[in-house]
Structure 1
Amino acid sequence: MHIIDLTFVGRGIHEELVAYVADQQNYYEQEGVHVALRDGCAWDGERVRRTATIGLARAVLSRITDGVPWTVLCVNTHRPLFWLLARDVYASVEELRGRRIGIHPPGTAPGCLSRIVLRKHGLDPDRDVRPVVMTPGDYGRHLRRLAEGSLDAAFVGSTLAPEVTVRENGLRLMAFVGDHFRTPTVGIAVDPTHTPVDDPAVQALVRANRRALRTIRDEPDLAVRYVNALIPSLSETEARRHYERYVAPYFTIDGRHDPRVAASALSSLAEELGVSTVPDAADIYRTEPAEGPS
């Protein structure tokens, strides 16, 4: 039995669903690997580098800014599961000009994605809005500040279901980040400095990840149950609607990336980060099928 650490760097079904399915369906053991799932949300980059990671966007950002040789071996989705919610008095993103927006730190992956989305709506995140930098979590604090009026809008992640959240809190769903910016965003990546891409444990991990992706697509009732387990506040009907809107249409079935999306996203991320040299997407994304039994 091979052994590997797999680190998630964010909460919610965006990061956790595929690994959760692989674990609950016993795919890791069937592929001959013991996977220690590690919470790396508060880890620095050096510690994450010594593990396989789910957080592709964070890994790619460190590749762009610091040259860390992360290599992506499996992509779960090109649609980041983040949303912009606002108080109900605002009807469009453009109406948020001059308003207070809760946003992830600018050097983080979700922060970069959020800033790019604001720019796509004609808003400079440094000049046209009043950014309130907030650390991610279960986003309860974001909702409380929206309710009390100290925030006008906030970017939130997949620990919640946006349609349910806006209905229950009198808010408005302004934008799904994945509708406005696409990038290979979660999956499996390793830093070959510490973990060779052809390591048997890595290849087994990738095979199990791909099996979980197929299960999510081919067995919707089972997938809905796992979505509901990760967001237990939802009813079964709400979990199914969330799966049908954000998971089934957008999660890959084989872990392969779209080269055109990857190249375009790298260019946009480098521009947002102020980096002039854009890495070659082919040097980062290697999502060929894993060899061996499944």
Structure 2
Amino acid sequence: MHTIDLAYVGRGIHEELVAHVADQEGYYADEGLHVAIRDGIDWDIRRLRGAATIGLGRAVLSRLTDGIDWTMLSVNTHRPLFWFLGRPGLESLEDLRGRRLAVHAGFTAPGCFARIVLRRHGLDPDHDLTCVVRAPGDYGMDLRMLREGSIDAAYVGSTLAPEQVAEEEGLRVLAWVGDHFRIPTVGVAVDPAHHSPESPAVQGLVRANRRALATIAARPDLAVDYLASFLTRLTRDEAVRHFDTYIGPYFSADGHVDLAVAQEAVDLVAVELGVATQPAAGIYQA
């Protein structure tokens, strides 16, 4: 049996759902593979290189800024699961001008994506609003800050369902990042200096990941069961709506990449980071 570490670098169904399906449905075992799913959120890039990673966004930023030849071997979705939530009175991203936004740091993948989306809506994140840097998590403190009025909006991830939270808290869903910026952000990536993409362990991991994607596409009821196990505040009907809105239509059934989408995204990320871009075809083999 082959063994490999697989690290997620963000919490929520965005990174965890597909690996969870592969694990729970026995797809890793079918490949003769022992996969240790690791919490790599606080790992530095040197430690992360020793594992396969789910976080393609972080791997792309690292490739552009650190010169590490991360190679993307399977892609789950091209639409990042992050949202902007606003207090009552805000109806669009343009309304954030002059306001306070809780958001991830710009050097992180989700923070970089947020800055790209804000710029697309005519907002300079360094001058047109006040960015309150927050670490990713369950976003409970961000919701508390919204209730207290110490921030006007928050950038949140898939540890919560935005419509359900907005309804309960009297908030507004201002935008879904996936509607405004597409990039292959989750799947399977390795650093070839540590794991050959052709090794039996890596190839087995990729096959299991793609099998889990096919299961999610073919068996939505089962996929909703797994989704609901993460988003425990949702009723069954709410979990179905969340799946039908954000997962079912947009998660790949085969793990392949759209290189045109990937190239546009890599170019935008490089501009945001102030570094040279790279050909997407050299980054993504999915």
Give the TM-score category using the shorter length: over 0.9
Q: Shift of residue 96 of structure 1?
A: 1.0
Q: Which residue of 2 aligns with 1:214?
A: 214
Matched, 1:177 2:177: yes
Moved segments of 4+, more than 3 Å = none
Distance 1:56 1:143 in 2: 27
Matched, 1:106 2:103: no
User: What is the TM-score of this pair, normalised by structure 2?
Assistant: 0.99
Distance 1:80 1:258 in 2: 15
Distance 1:20 1:66 in 2: 30
1:106-255 → structure 2 map (5 Å cutoff): 106-255=106-255
Query: Which residues of structure 1 form unaligned runs of 5+?
Result: 288-294
User: What is the TM-score of this pair, normalised by structure 1?
Assistant: 0.97
Q: Shift of residue 31 of structure 1?
A: 1.3
Distance 2:238 2:104 in 1: 26
Q: Amino acid of the residue matched to residue 159 of structure 2?
A: T
Provide the aligned length of Structure 1 versus Structure 2.
Answer: 286
Distance 1:91 1:279 in 2: 36
Q: Which residue of 2 aligns with 1:92?
A: 92
What per-residue deviation string (whole Å, max 9, x for no partner) do you get for residues 209-233 of structure 1? 0000001010010000000001111
Q: Amino acid of the residue matched to residue 285 of structure 2?
A: R
Instruction: Give aligned-pair identity as a percent.
Output: 62
What per-residue deviation string (whole Å, max 9, x for no partner) do you get for residues 73-93 of structure 1? 000000000000000111221
Distance 1:183 1:23 in 2: 25
SS across alignment from 2:194 = coil
What per-residue deviation string (whole Å, max 9, x for no partner) do you get for residues 92-143 of structure 1? 2111101000010110000000001111110000000011001110000000
Q: Which residue of 2 aligns with 1:292?
A: none
SS across alignment from 1:41 = coil
Distance 1:91 1:235 in 2: 26
Distance 2:89 2:279 in 1: 44
Q: Shift of residue 265 of structure 1?
A: 0.4
Q: Shift of residue 66 of structure 1?
A: 1.2
Distance 2:77 2:242 in 1: 15
Query: Which residues of structure 2 form unaligned runs of 5+?
Result: none
